């Protein structure tokens, strides 16, 4: 689990929800344009369309280039489908899950199997399963109680084998096993006695190990004569971005993402045993990301730079023309998700802000980029908003790369300059060691359609903008990190986008914490807040981190605060929203999954209890079958139905009736239904039925 710190609280499901369900109130593009020109409110788009399941998602091409796979609903639950590439009539479901669905999948390198990971009701004990594409047989390759599968490796030279990290011996550490894909028989390769993660070479030999020291730095070890020996150290300031990508073809050196001796992350090469890397690619403005290595030669081919939007750059001279051809066919967000073994085809995810994302196939020989499938074809006929990249200055002169989406009623021509102000929702990303990016965002579209402007801010501690920007967030939870959000709000007011008294704050995970911080540390700044699985108490949060994050505990301490020291404990208490609960004046909605292993239910329970004891209004929604975010479509729809009514009562935006959005949901309104107009009546009706 490389760089768990970067993704520890990232609520990817929350911020990448994409929907595509039938809608009986669709309009044509001509009608949409007419609505825009008249500046009248556009049609109300169904929540199910924007926040339900996509028709197809997570497209992949098999390594041999003959087949395709994707996630798509089977009776409303996202399952895996496989068919001949481009022939959807041949595609058939290969799983029949009836619960929370299949979240992610990938192919075996011999194209004989499809692997997928799945937990139970959000507990994040991920099991690795495989499906035999030929026979349809499904097997759990990690069938052990309480195990979490991690650190998976394959090699074309070893078909029928996958290396998997498993922590069933000790929940804190993942031992490395060689697993027979056909039988699930496992053989121990390396017992883990305190290493964060391992790196294997191209022959599936355990070659490197990374350990976190007491000061948060990363120590990289090499193995010789069956002993681990220290190779080099990566200071804490660099460790959060540092990443070993893999070995060269001869297994004599490694490619890395490295910020040592520089501010932004560079792609570098370092021979085993040496200490001075060679820089292959770098940029002074942003980190190098999305590096593509040839699947067989392991030579770096290309990389992306992402300031407002990603732009691809060639490394290998042979790819200068293909990359130019690729860039010429892109004008939004893009990611290369998979490559065939011969590197002739790439699976590319392309993402416009006001259109459905499209999975495409890039022919690296011809330079042709063709559609594989559109994830949500129905939304292309709907009145959607355009996302605009903006750079907002912080009070101490940092550049905050942000994204602004304006409702059609306030910005009819969608040029990013409002003709009239509107209420605004400050939508805060999780992590915090992550970032917002350009592209179609279902939450932003939902909010804009209801009449709200949406501002997404890459505050300090966000990734991708260099280590100075990242480390500027160290020990600044509810400090400078929150100041960035306040600065962004004030910018929006100054630009005439909104008014000072019409701004809500909303987010999941760290974004939920930011919401609680906004309502406690700056109680006058926001009209209301929506907190989804956000921590309220930093002391109890760090005391209850999952055992498999043990190797990153010191990095948390360096980034947030160390409860083992008097100074650190005082800081954590001071920066905890629950310490300042008496200051809450504005309406608050909290959503929580009962099985969340990261931000446990106690984080929401304790602040709700504190507010109840002080007669401070709060609405608390709990899902007994969810974890760190809401995966089940019916749970997702039910929560955002509540959130829509809540925001409507607070900011005055449009509201779609709840209707049957609670159907089949496990939603429990623990407290405060009376604070959202119509919610009590709706719950009573459901109970009587």
Q: Is 363 a catalytic site residue? A: no
Alpha-carbon gap, residue 152 to 104, rounded angstroms: 13
Place of tokens 């344009």: 33
Alpha-carbon gap, residue 50 to 34, rounded angstroms: 22
Cβ(648)–Cβ(504) below 8 Å: no
- CA dist 662 → 116, 463, 667 (Å): 29, 36, 7
Residue 552's contacts (CB-CB under 8 Å, 6 or more residues apart) are: 4, 5, 8, 196, 212
Alpha-carbon gap, residue 318 to 303, rounded angstroms: 14
- Residue 182 in 3-state DSSP? coil
Could you tell me how many residues make up the chain?
689
DSSP 8-class letter at 627: B
Q: Which residues pair with 620 in a beta bridge?
A: 590, 671
Q: Which residues of 85-107 are buried (b: 16+ CB within 10 A; e: fewer)?
A: eeeeeebebbbebeebbbbebbb
The token pair that represents 610 in the structure block: 């504190």
Catalytic residue among 32, 46, 356, 509: 509
Catalytic residue among 628, 661, 665, 671: 628
Q: Which residues pair with 125 in a beta bridge?
A: none
Q: Which residues of 319-341 are buried (b: 16+ CB within 10 A; e: fewer)?
A: beebbebbeeebebbbbbbbbbb
Closest C-alpha among 100, 121, 79, 71 to residue 634: 100
The token pair that represents 425 in the structure block: 């929702």
- CA dist 520 → 93, 515, 569, 579, 581 (Å): 48, 9, 19, 9, 6
- Residue 341 in 3-state DSSP? coil
The token pair that represents 600 in the structure block: 């446990």
Catalytic residue among 201, 351, 596, 625: 596
Burial class of residue 193 (count of CB atoms within 10 Å of its CB; 0-12, 13-18, 19+): exposed
Alpha-carbon gap, residue 174 to 546, rounded angstroms: 13
Cβ atoms < 10 Å from Cβ of 157 = 10
Residue 224's contacts (CB-CB under 8 Å, 6 or more residues apart) are: none
Q: Is 596 a catalytic site residue? A: yes
- Residue 176 in 3-state DSSP? strand
Q: Is 628 a catalytic site residue? A: yes
Closest C-alpha among 94, 60, 100 to residue 78: 100
Alpha-carbon gap, residue 342 to 508, rounded angstroms: 40
Closest C-alpha among 170, 169, 120, 110 to residue 140: 120
The token pair that represents 285 in the structure block: 């403005």
SS3 of 411-469: the string is CCCCCCCCCCCCCEEEEECCECCCCCCCCCCHHHHHHHHCCCEEEEECCCCCCCCCHHH
Closest C-alpha among 253, 309, 256 to residue 286: 309
Known catalytic residues are 509, 596, 628
């Amino acid at each position: 689990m490389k760089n768990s710190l970067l993704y520890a609280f990232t609520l990817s499901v929350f911020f990448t929800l994409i929907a595509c369900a039938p809608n009986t109130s669709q309009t044509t593009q001509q009608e949409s344009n007419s609505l825009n020109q008249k500046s009248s409110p556009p049609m109300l788009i169904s929540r199910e369309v924007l926040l339900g399941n996509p028709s197809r998602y997570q497209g992949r091409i098999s390594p041999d280039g003959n087949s395709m796979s994707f996630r798509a609903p089977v009776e409303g639950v996202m399952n895996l489908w496989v068919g001949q590439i481009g022939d959807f009539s041949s595609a058939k479901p290969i799983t029949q899950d009836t619960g929370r669905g299949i979240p992610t999948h990938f192919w075996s390198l011999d194209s004989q199997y499809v692997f997928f990971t799945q937990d139970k009701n959000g507990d994040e004990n991920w099991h690795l399963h495989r499906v035999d594409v030929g026979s349809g047989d499904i097997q759990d390759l990690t069938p052990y109680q309480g195990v979490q599968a991690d650190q998976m490796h394959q090699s074309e030279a070893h078909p029928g084998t996958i290396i998997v990290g498993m922590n069933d011996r000790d929940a804190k550490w993942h031992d490395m096993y060689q697993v027979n894909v056909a039988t699930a028989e496992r053989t121990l390769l390396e017992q883990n006695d305190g290493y964060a993660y391992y790196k294997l070479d191209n022959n599936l030999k355990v070659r490197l190990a990374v350990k976190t020291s007491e000061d948060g730095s990363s120590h990289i070890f090499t193995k010789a004569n069956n002993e681990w020996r220290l190779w080099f150290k990566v200071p804490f300031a660099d460790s959060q971005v540092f990443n070993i990508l893999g070995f060269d073809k001869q297994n004599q050196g490694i490619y890395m993402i490295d910020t040592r001796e520089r501010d932004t992350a560079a792609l570098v090469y370092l021979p085993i045993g040496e200490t001075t890397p060679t820089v292959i690619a770098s940029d002074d403005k942003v980190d190098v990301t999305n590096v593509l290595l040839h699947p067989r030669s392991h030579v770096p081919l290309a990389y992306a730079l992402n300031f407002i939007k990603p732009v691809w750059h060639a490394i290998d001279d042979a790819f200068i023309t293909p990359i130019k051809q690729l860039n010429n066919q892109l004008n939004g967000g893009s990611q290369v998700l998979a490559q065939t073994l011969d590197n002739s085809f790439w699976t590319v995810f392309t993402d416009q802000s006001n259109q459905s994302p499209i999975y495409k196939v890039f022919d690296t020989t011809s330079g042709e980029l063709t559609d594989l499938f559109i994830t949500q074809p129905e939304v292309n006929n709907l009145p959607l908003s355009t996302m605009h990249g903006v750079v907002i200055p912080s009070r101490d002169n940092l550049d905050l790369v942000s994204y602004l989406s304006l409702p059609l009623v306030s910005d009819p021509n969608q040029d990013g300059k409002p003709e009239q102000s509107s209420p605004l929702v400050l939508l805060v990303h999780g992590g915090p060691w992550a970032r917002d990016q350009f592209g179609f965002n279902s939450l932003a579209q939902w909010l804009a359609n209801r009449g709200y402007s949406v501002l997404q801010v890459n505050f300090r501690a966000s990734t991708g903008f260099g280590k100075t920007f990242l480390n500027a967030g160290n020990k600044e939870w509810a400090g400078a990190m929150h100041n960035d959000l306040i600065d962004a709000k004030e910018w929006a007011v100054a630009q005439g986008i909104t008014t000072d008294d019409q701004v809500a704050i909303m987010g999941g995970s760290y974004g939920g914490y930011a919401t609680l911080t906004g309502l406690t540390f700056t109680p006058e700044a926001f009209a209301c807040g929506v907190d989804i699985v956000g921590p309220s108490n930093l002391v109890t949060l760090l005391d209850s981190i999952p055992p498999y994050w043990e190797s990153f505990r010191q990095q948390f301490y360096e980034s947030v605060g160390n409860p083992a020291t008097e100074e650190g404990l005082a800081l954590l208490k001071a920066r905890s929203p629950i310490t300042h609960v008496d200051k809450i004046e504005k309406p608050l909605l909290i959503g929580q999954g009962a099985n969340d292993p990261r931000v446990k239910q106690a984080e929401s329970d304790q602040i709700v209890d504190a507010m109840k004891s002080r007669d401070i209004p709060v609405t608390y929604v709990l899902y007994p079958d969810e974890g760190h975010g809401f995966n089940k479509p019916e749970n997702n729809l039910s929560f955002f139905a509540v959130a829509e009514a809540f925001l409507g009562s607070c900011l005055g935006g449009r509201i779609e009736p709840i209707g049957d959005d609670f159907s089949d949901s496990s939603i429990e309104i623990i407290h405060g239904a009376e604070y959202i107009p119509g919610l009590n009546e709706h719950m009573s009706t459901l109970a009587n039925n």
